[in-house]
Structure 1
Amino acid sequence: MKRLATAIAMSLATAGAGLADDITVGFAIAKSGWLEAYDTPATTAARIRIDEINAAGGLLGRQINWIEADTKSDQAQSASAGLQLIDEGADMLIVNCDYDFGAPAALAAEGAGLNSFFLCAEDIKAGIQGVGPNSFSASVLAAVQGATMAEWSLGERGAKTGYVLLDTTIEYNKGICTGFDWMFPNAGGDIVGRDTFKNGDASIASQITRIKALETEPDVIMLCSYIPGAASAVRQIRAAGINSLILNGSAVDGSYWLNATPNLSGFVVPVQGSIYGDDPRADVEAFNIAYEKATGSRPASQYAYPGYILIDLWAKAVERAGSLDGAAVTAELEKMRDEPTAFGPRSFSGEIHHQNSAEMQIIEITDGTPGVAGNWRISTPVPLDVLLN
């Protein structure tokens, strides 16, 4: 009996040590509320990459497990979730897609000396500027999306004139227009007018009247908005007989909204990868298939992809640092210059923990069908002072 008790004690001790040796990733994410639609796909993608790393032998010779806490799309709950996960032993935190909602959890990680990654935030503040030196985002800045549309339309479609139509409802939209406003004139284009609206506006008739009053229809309209307001604006622009090429940011990727704009053509967005099965990179379609196997459906938009990217980059930095220490991992992340990923090269620096330049796939909708029309990487990264506008 004594030998049996000793064996059981030794077995329990060994099991405990095995669990203690695991690496723990904490997800402070929205499992309810409006942010859930953004957080869940990127979280699923992150866990796919974790499973791949574990199957290949783990990280630093250890398996990665994960724990989660629901932020409920609430800023106060974000802080509580972050602290809870740290108390439960998280070695790094992954936080909400949105900067405002993810920042409280990221700040908790910063206070504990841990790395944090925003799932898909595209505001420069989601990193050094708004959280601290150990915080990063895996997505591509909104301003880069706008700058990409500006330079691509000039280089590939011969655009010369542009009109800016800004939805002032959220900061993301302003970021898109900031990038377009910076790049379009610098690349040789002429912005011939600008206007604003709100996402919930039922009509943009007055804005359309001002566009139609121009001597010549603009070559492109930079529409900085998101669904549902973007779909409503596009429908009204086309109904008014305006045939300008309409540009937008990544937020309107996906075909789920196209029933609201039947037979739409001449609408273009930049994305990190194509969900439509036509991405020229085999790794992207391999991920789409893995995502479908895990969830029963393909990604609905490109916003799943940053979750996969962030785990990939963080794991590489951990291996190179030989440590989970936040500062050591940050130092390795900041050395990354055009680091290969399945979705194109990624870079960080001591000033910017975001992508201020990235290869984007260009998705064009023609007769209601989206597809890859090419790819583009802006010739000059968006400067920090522009990003901070």
Structure 2
Amino acid sequence: MRPLFTRTALAALALAACTAAQAQPKDLVIGFATARSGWLEAYDTPARNAAMIRINEINAAGGLLGRKLRVVESDSKTDRAQSAKAGLDVLDQGADLVVTSCDYDFGAPAAIEAQKKGKVAFFLCAEDIKAGLQGVGKMAFTGSLLNAVQGATVIDWAYNRRKVRSAYVLEDTAIEYNKGICKGFAAQAKTLPELKIVGQDTFKGGDASIAAQVSRIKALPTPPDAIMLCSVIPAAASAVKQLRAAGINSLILNGSAVDGSYWLDSVPGLSNFVVPVQGSIYGDDPNPKVEAFNKTYATQYGGRPSSTYVYPGYILIDLWAKAVERAKSADGAPVVAQLEKMNAEPTIFGPRSFSPALHIQNNIPLLISEVKNGKPGIVDKWQLAKPFPVAELAKR
């Protein structure tokens, strides 16, 4: 019996199959080296979910450069050493973009591994200036804004809108984010001629009690108009509870990290508490595109976004994809060059900019969210008159 195919025909078929395989463009790989466990998971997972919404939108529209986006993941476990391992893991899986944790301290090790390989790294929502050129290096960016801008914006608003003229600073020194909030406050406070700082204190996030600090505030001749609390959950919730339990009813200001209603049950009936946010999760954002996103998120993940830190995940994928399209490549250097050209680049959450000197936002309009009788909501919109002076962050 004659063979169905000769050796020549089989070789031709094999060559055709190989050629067809080669003609299929490889997927572009996005590697998430983020926390799927530990305390940071509460920040990383929602932002990662938002990133997935944008990734799925891009794939549904045909992909990027004619290639599909494929996701690989590795759990950094809210651990610095594991962060580096997670970064290496996703790079070994072919990541063209490495997405790292919301916090600089825990995301930097993964970003540094990407930097070594010449790959772009994007922090999900880190807000320390070192989550970029000034820390990790040329290949690192963040989807969020400077923590200092938050501290500066909220006191600028409080001074102008609520006529705050005296403030007490209470700084949690546990992580860099907190320190940046207080640096921003201090820099802006110097520009407000009638504002008086009537006291400054520190505590550590792991401290069970801030009784001594509360006593010093209570000992002031007159209660301060505002307390600038630079902290994150759970320490911030504990501090607010202790301040209110001591009868201190001053306006409390903080950064975006305490946005959300998930912790408010620990301080029943809380009022006079204000934070700046990039977008509203409460259904009252003046930009209808934000609420449309919130509804999409709720449909896909079974609940609305838990805090403003969801939004930078979507933003970073959007900006990276635009840079890839313009560079006509996902390679690190040309993508960085395109990102650094972005000036007031439109996103559904407002304009975003990068430059060869700065890979993080240092002045964007923010919404002001206030908790009244235990319920948060947007009360205003505010933007600094000038970009925050980055040189201030090198001080102290």
Q: Does 1:349 align with 2:349?
A: no
Q: Does 1:291 align with 2:297?
A: yes
Q: 2:67 aligns with which of 58, 62, 65?
A: 62
> Over alpha carbons, which structure has the higher Rg?
2
Q: 2:332 aligns with which of 326, 332, 346?
A: 326
State the 1:145 CA deviation: 0.8
State the 1:16 CA deviation: 6.0
- State the SS of the aligned residue for 1:202: coil
Query: 1: CA distance between counterparts of 2:374 and 2:15?
Result: 65
Aligned to 1:380: 386
- State the SS of the aligned residue for 1:320: helix
Is contact 1:121-1:137 (8 Å) kept?
yes
Is contact 2:104-2:176 (8 Å) kept?
no
Aligned to 2:258: 252
What amino acid is the match of 1:268? V
Deviates more, 1:151-160 or 1:60-69: 60-69
What amino acid is the match of 1:223? L
Aligned to 1:111: 116
Q: Does 1:169 align with 2:174?
A: yes
State the 1:7 CA deviation: 5.6
Q: Deviations over 1:343-362 (max 9, x none)?
A: 11111111111111121111
Q: Does 1:33 align with 2:41?
A: no
C-alpha spacing 1:10/1:77, structure 2 compared with 1 (3 Å)? farther
Structure 2 gaps, min length 5 = none
Aligned to 1:359: 365
Aligned to 2:374: 368
State the 1:289 CA deviation: 1.0
Q: Does 1:243 align with 2:249?
A: yes
What amino acid is the match of 1:146? G
What amino acid is the match of 1:376? W
Q: Does 1:125 align with 2:161?
A: no
State the 1:53 CA deviation: 1.4
Query: 1: CA distance between counterparts of 2:59 and 2:354?
Result: 25
Q: Does 1:145 align with 2:143?
A: no
TM-score, with length taken from structure 2: 0.93
Q: Does 1:192 align with 2:198?
A: yes
Within 5 Å, give how 1:182-221 maps onto structure 2: 182-188=187-193, 189-221=195-227
Query: 2: CA distance between counterparts of 1:95 and 1:10?
Result: 41
Alignment RMSD, CA only? 1.9
TM-score, with length taken from structure 1: 0.94
Is contact 2:36-2:76 (8 Å) kept?
yes
- State the SS of the aligned residue for 1:126: coil
Query: 2: CA distance between counterparts of 1:51 and 1:352?
Result: 29
State the 1:9 CA deviation: 7.1
Query: 2: CA distance between counterparts of 1:121 and 1:68?
Result: 19
- State the SS of the aligned residue for 1:312: helix
- State the SS of the aligned residue for 1:127: coil
What amino acid is the match of 1:150? I
C-alpha spacing 1:64/1:219, structure 2 compared with 1 (3 Å)? same
Query: 1: CA distance between counterparts of 2:215 and 2:124?
Result: 39
Query: 1: CA distance between counterparts of 2:167 and 2:161?
Result: 14
Aligned to 1:96: 101
C-alpha spacing 1:363/1:4, structure 2 compared with 1 (3 Å)? farther
- State the SS of the aligned residue for 1:186: coil
Q: Does 1:277 align with 2:310?
A: no
Q: 1:155 aligns with which of 156, 160, 177?
A: 160
State the 1:8 CA deviation: 7.7
Query: 2: CA distance between counterparts of 1:153 and 1:345?
Result: 24
Structure 1 gaps, min length 5 = none
Q: Does 1:339 align with 2:332?
A: no
Q: Deviations over 1:337-379 (max 9, x none)?
A: 2111111111111111111112111110001100001111111
Is contact 1:250-1:302 (8 Å) kept?
yes
Deviates more, 1:141-150 or 1:91-100: 91-100
Query: 1: CA distance between counterparts of 2:220 and 2:345?
Result: 45
Q: Deviations over 1:311-355 (max 9, x none)?
A: 011111111222222111111111112111111111111111111
What amino acid is the match of 1:301? S
Query: 2: CA distance between counterparts of 1:294 and 1:224?
Result: 33
What amino acid is the match of 1:178? K
